[in-house]
Amino acid sequence: MAMELAINTDRTQKFIDDLEAQRTILSSCTQLFTALTNNFTSLQNSLSEKSQFLDSKFQSLESNSQQNLESLSQRETSIPERESAAAAKVEEQKGNALAEFENPKKFDKLSDWLKSICRKMDSSGLLKFIISKRKESVSLRAEISPAIMEAVDPARLVLDAVDEFVSNKIEKVGVTDKRWACGMLLQALFPESSYFGGKHKGPEFAGTVVERAGKILERWKEEQVDGKEGGGSGSGGGGVVGPAEAVMFLQMVLGFGLKSRFDEEFLRKLVMENAARRDMAKLAVAIGFGEKMEEMIDELVKNGKEIEAAYFASESGLTEKFPPVSLLKSHIKNSKKNTANILKNGNFSPAAMEESNAAELNSIKAVIKCVEDHKLELDFPLDSLRKRATRLEKTKAERKKSSAAAAAKSQSKRGHGAISGPSGRGNRPPAFHPSKAPKFSNAYSPFGRRNPAPLSQHSPVARYSGPYDYSSQGGYESHSGAGAPYAATYGGSHSQSPAAIPQQHYPLPVENAGGAAFRASGSYGGQANYGSYDYGTAAPPPTYQTSSYTQ
């Protein structure tokens, strides 16, 4: 009886186990069915959304197509009227040009002279006239844009001028002045708004004009590869040399729609090598480098060009990734190291002190200008920077004044000594003739040996040579810590002024002078206003240039 009961228990347990297995299978099937149902529902919703999106796209396409067809129809119906208007304008301009040739007149106004030359389509005469009126650059820039519109073919007139400039670059003749004049013409032909997203979209050109512009740019670019040894701003020898020419080149690329004809890497390199130009950031955005813009800004930061990076980030809308305030603080930190290295490498000499102060002043001006352009005064106070800039300017002015006074005093002493004493010949002091310098030797000893500076007098500039703390900019201070030795060395009176000592001068070549002038007038720290480049404000070459953003 016990054996039969045990057998029945095993069968029951087996039955229960089978039920548990079946329940597990049912549960798994239920979960799988639920997952499949959810998946199908999600797919159905996704397909429904895509279908609706496509329907809206089709409706938008139909609407745009209808608008385009209507626009084309209106343009087609207006063709005869536009043709007659264009023909009338050409005839009028042709008549005006013939009248200029038949009855040449003399004009009193600058605008009348410009219009007369443009009507004649005389590109060479236009370049010469613009160059001759360089001192009137402000008025010239205002009048040149309406003047070239008086020409029968403004684009051809400007291209003739640029072609002449490129040819002169190859021949290394008359490059500097014509570069400046061509820059004025290109800026007049292509207003800033025509490729910087403004309402004015710029003129449209015939295919032959665009093709000629492309050939001129290709020749300009090829000369850069073949004539690299002629590099240096304004040195001639062909090629896109210097910031001013880079801007002109890119203006033509954008204005004539020739971006597809040039390698993007070439254009990127052209922008990066001349990033210190105030308008280069806008040109870079107009060209459209896309995702490479972040890499370009990062490269500027790594190369110590934080000011340029701030402008590029602002123009391209990448200020969140590259905050201008952080970039400016980094620039101040690097500028602090730079001025310290100048003093150290110059053994804290007066010349090193002057160079250090100049570098610091240029750096401060560039930071102030950048903050004002981007309206960052609340996040980056400028009071301490402005005070420091004022002190450096005052120091510079006093140093020049004291140097001029010392030179005048030295000349006065020599003049007085020449006429003093009795007039008789026998009472005159014996004439002093310096011994002839030996061959292959230096006839002049250093300033320090000929004119030892006594330590009893001090220059007023010593008051400003001590440390200066920019508390609001995280401890940015002056590196003219060697105030005492500087005052003792520089401020002492001399028996003979260095300004009165004959020195050998090495004038810059004309080509180099022009390039330097463009660098000085077109950099972030060179002028007070940041905006479109003024080709009419080029100045003579500075005798001193400092950090990268002033080059």
**What DSSP string describes 173-199?**
SSHHHHHHHHHHHHHHHS-GGGTTT-S
Residues 207, 199 contacting (CB under 8 angstroms) = no
Report the pLDDT value the prediction gives residue 464, as an integer from 0 to 100: 35
* CA 484-488-490 angle, 5° bins: 110
Please count the other Cβ atoms lying within 10 Å of the Cβ belonging to residue 240. Answer: 23
Report the pLDDT value the prediction gives residue 365, as an integer from 0 to 100: 92
How far out from the chain centre does Cα 341 lie?
26
pLDDT-derived band at 242 (thresholds 50, 70, 90) equals confident
The one-letter amino acid at 188: A
- Domain assignment present for residue 337? The answer is yes
Helix (H, G, I), strand (E, B) or coil at 110: helix
Please count the other Cβ atoms lying within 10 Å of the Cβ belonging to residue 104. Answer: 9
CA dihedral 520, 523, 528, 531 (to 10 degrees): 130
- φ, ψ (nearest 5 deg) of residue 409: -65, -40
Residue holding tokens 């004493």? 421
- Domain assignment present for residue 357? The answer is yes
Report the pLDDT value the prediction gives residue 157, as an integer from 0 to 100: 94
CA 339, 345, 347, 352 torsion-angle sign: negative
Residues 146, 156 contacting (CB under 8 angstroms) = no
- Quote the percentage of the chain above a pLDDT of 70: 68
The mean per-residue pLDDT over the stretch 515-529 comes to: 41
Tens of pLDDT, residue by residue over 469-481, are 444 444 333 343 3
* CA 102-109-127 angle, 5° bins: 70
- Domain assignment present for residue 371? The answer is yes
- Domain assignment present for residue 332? The answer is yes
Helix (H, G, I), strand (E, B) or coil at 242: helix
Res. 529: pLDDT tops 60: no
Which has the closest alpha carbon to 244: 544, 546, 526? Answer: 526
Tens of pLDDT, residue by residue over 510-521, are 333 333 333 333
Tens of pLDDT, residue by residue over 147-205, are 998 888 899 999 999 999 998 887 777 788 999 999 999 999 998 766 655 444 556 78
Tokens of 63: 């609407």
Question: How much is the mean pLDDT over the chain?
Answer: 74
d(CA 148, CA 162): 14
d(CA 127, CA 507): 26
- Domain carrying residue 391: 323-403
Q: What is the Rg, in whole angstroms, of the alpha carbon atoms belonging to the chain?
A: 37
- Domain assignment present for residue 278? The answer is no
Tens of pLDDT, residue by residue over 7-41, are 567 888 888 888 889 989 999 999 999 999 999 99
Report the pLDDT value the prediction gives residue 387, as an integer from 0 to 100: 93
- Classify residue 237 by its DSSP letter: S
Beta bridge mates, 277: 523
Which has the closest alpha carbon to 403: 338, 460, 477? Answer: 460
Report the pLDDT value the prediction gives residue 330, as an integer from 0 to 100: 92
The one-letter amino acid at 11: R
Which has the closest alpha carbon to 330: 313, 356, 311, 305? Answer: 305
Global pTM value: 0.59
Q: Which of 77-86, 209-218, 360-369, 503-512 is predicted with the least confidence, judged by mean pLDDT?
A: 503-512
- Domain assignment present for residue 504? The answer is no
Residues 120, 128 contacting (CB under 8 angstroms) = no
The mean per-residue pLDDT over the stretch 338-364 comes to: 90
Report the pLDDT value the prediction gives residue 454, as an integer from 0 to 100: 38
Report the pLDDT value the prediction gives residue 545, as an integer from 0 to 100: 37
d(CA 84, CA 74): 16
- Domain assignment present for residue 519? The answer is no
- φ, ψ (nearest 5 deg) of residue 257: 65, 50
Domains of the chain: total: 1
* CA 523-256-206 angle, 5° bins: 155
Which has the closest alpha carbon to 513: 489, 538, 488, 530? Answer: 538
d(CA 130, CA 180): 9
Helix (H, G, I), strand (E, B) or coil at 523: strand
The one-letter amino acid at 361: L
The mean per-residue pLDDT over the stretch 290-311 comes to: 92
- Domain assignment present for residue 167? The answer is no
Helix (H, G, I), strand (E, B) or coil at 35: helix
d(CA 522, CA 538): 8
d(CA 272, CA 295): 11
Please count the other Cβ atoms lying within 10 Å of the Cβ belonging to residue 146. Answer: 13
17 Cβ contact partners less than 8 Å away, ≥ 6 residues apart? none
d(CA 267, CA 349): 43
